[in-house]
Structure 1
Amino acid sequence: MTDTSSLHPQAPDVSFVIPALNEAASLPDLIARLRAAVEDRFGFEIVVVDDGSRDGTPDVVLAERTQDERVRLVRNRFNAGQSAAIHNGTMHASGRVICTLDGDGQNPPEDVLRVCRPLLNDPPEKLGLVAGQRVGRQDTASKKLASRFANWVRSRLLKDQTRDTGCGLKAFRRDAFLALPFFNHMHRYLPALFRAAGWQVELVDVSHAARTAGQSNYSNWQRGLVGAVDLFGVLWLLKRRKRAEGDEVFAPGEVR
């Protein structure tokens, strides 16, 4: 995949990357609320990544673009999953800060400032990721129970100090994210991956809304099965990771 950020000389401060699979009914309201939440606060663009939708999602996004050129559409050539959609959207995005949120509207757009501001106000540039943690989740009891158990297991094994890595609302440095090893479902392990890469991670509480349109694209069984495989894969990756440190060597008498 070609990095297209250099094609946008006047890059915005923040690129909102929204992975979407069959979210035609949710996107117009989500985009309108997101635009209202950040308008006049900083430069931004909205990159919607269609991950093989069959409900007219691309048409909805293009209709939004006719009203606002800051709305962009990226189409995956086939359904590749949420992490691949986020990665592809980040590759095409032009902002130095990326903010992700789910296309179903369950991440209230009014909360994006909570995760974006710390990165925009970080002169030392030591902060790599700000991850939202949902409070007052508006999901079924079975989904919340499965998520709570999965988060407990992950937290015990990875020691990532995070109680909720499944929250879609996150903000991170674009260059730092693209330097991470890419694998399917990596979006659930970003706190551990960013810390392993030497970046600071900040956690903030965010709200959660009930889905008002469409239906979930994943079952608890699917999440649990792939989560178990991914978790041990991430453990292996972190244990095998080795960072080299060194200093540049200059010739005798050379002016530094």
Structure 2
Amino acid sequence: MDYSLTIIVPLYNEEENLKRVEEKMMEYISNSRINTQVLFVNDGSKDNSEKLVIDICQRNPEFKYISFEKNAGLSAAIKAGFDYSETNLTGYIDSDLQTDPFDFNLLLDEIDNYDLVTGYRHERKDSGIKNLSSHVANTVRNWFTHDGMDDTGCPLKIIRTDYAKRIPMFSGLHRFLPAMILLQGGRIKQVPIKHFPRIAGTPKFGLRNRLIKPLMDCFAYLWMKKNYINYKVGRRS
């Protein structure tokens, strides 16, 4: 089958969620308006996640996976997904399924006119501390990036794959995807999506990951922006 959309599902120690991921993603694929496949990126899980992923991929031809030799972080997992995607469009959703795969349809409604469409969780179902820290982090990022996004960390996005593959690798990249598309002269949009509480597994980010590390990443982004090389070929022979 020729696929048009690859949905990246990064995971690290998510054995409690993977059966639900299989069910929800198969339900979406069966009703998707375009041919869609799933790419698991196992970020060096130490639990039973890899075996479960292999079983899922053997049962369903729409699923495939890559596995890191050791944990490399969410940004590396997303970048690997971009690198291995072979479709015109690449999506991204977290394995905790706090966002709804069917909301990819809301992003697909807009992608013809944009190079990245991201959701924003306008009614988040997280703890007060988590919501506050994310709000502060997003506000600080906007000071640096001026990308106009309210929720750059939202784990539901669709990107044109040729743009995604040109995003350079750096730690914290997942927080700056809209800004990196803007650096390429691309067009971005955000749309409101649903959000749900995490019902299984353990969150991988604490207060330090949501405040201190993102601030450090903002300075890395400023360096990237100053030194970023962007070009378009006019003619060739």
TM-score bracket for this pair, using the shorter chain length = over 0.9
Task: Give the residue type in structure 1 aligned to 2:210.
Answer: R
Cross-structure match for 2:64: 72
Please say if residues 20 and 48 of structure 1, whose CA atoms lie closer than 8 Å, have aligned partners that are also in contact.
yes
The one-letter amino acid of 2:107's match is: V
Is 1:47 the equivalent of 2:39?
yes
1:15 maps to 2:27: no
Tell me if the contact between 2:140 and 2:215 (Cα under 8 Å) persists in the aligned partners. Answer: no
Alignment correspondent of 2:172: 185
CA contact (8 A) 2:13 2:46 kept: yes
Q: 1:35 to 1:116 in 2, by over 3 A?
A: farther
- Residue 57, structure 1, aligned to residue 49, structure 2: yes
Instruction: Work out the CA distance in 1 between the residues paired with 2:234 and 2:54.
Output: 49
- Aligned position for 2:225: 238
Distance verdict in 2 for CA 1:149–1:45, change over 3 Å: same
Partner residue of 1:227?
A: 214
Cα pair 2:136 2:211 within 8 Å, conserved: no
What residue is the counterpart of 1:110 in the other structure? 102
Structure 1: 5+ residue stretches without partners: 1-9, 251-256
| Distance of aligned partners of 1:16 and 1:246 in 2 relative to their CA distance in 1, 3 Å threshold | closer
Aligned residues: 236
Q: CA deviation at 1:146?
A: 0.6
Structure 2 residue 209 is the aligned partner of structure 1 residue 217 = no
How big is the shift at 1:98? 0.6
Answer yes or no: is the 8 Å Cα contact 2:88–2:161 preserved in 1. Answer: yes
1:55 Cα deviation after fit: 1.7
Residue 115 of structure 2 is matched in structure 1 by 128
Secondary structure at 2:47 match in 1? coil
Q: Is the 8 A contact 1:27 1:105 kept in 2?
A: no
TM-superposed deviation, 1:85: 0.4
CA–CA distance in 2 between the matches of 1:71 and 1:15?
10
Equivalence for 1:101: 93
Q: How much identity, in percent, do the aligned residues show?
A: 28
Query: Alpha-carbon deviation of 1:140?
Result: 1.0
Note the alpha carbon deviations across 1:71-117, whole angstroms, 9 max, x for none: 11210111011111011122222221111000111112221211234
Instruction: Name the CA distance, whole Å, in 1 between partners of 2:12 and 2:228.
Output: 33
Alignment-derived partner of residue 24 in structure 1: 15
- 2:142 aligns with 155
Q: Distance in 2 between matches of 1:245 and 1:46?
A: 31
- TM-score between both structures, scaled by the size of structure 1: 0.86
2:127 is aligned to 140
Q: CA deviation at 1:157?
A: 2.3
Unaligned runs of 5+ in 2: none
Distance in 1, Cα, partners of 2:89 & 2:157: 10
Q: Distance in 2 between matches of 1:236 and 1:72?
A: 35
2:191 counterpart of 1:199: no
Contact 1:17 1:49 in 2 (8 A): yes
Residue 38 of structure 1, CA deviation: 3.3
Of 27, 38, 52, the match for 2:29: 38
Asked whether the equivalents of residues 141 and 215 of structure 2 are also in contact (C-alpha less than 8 Å), the reply is no
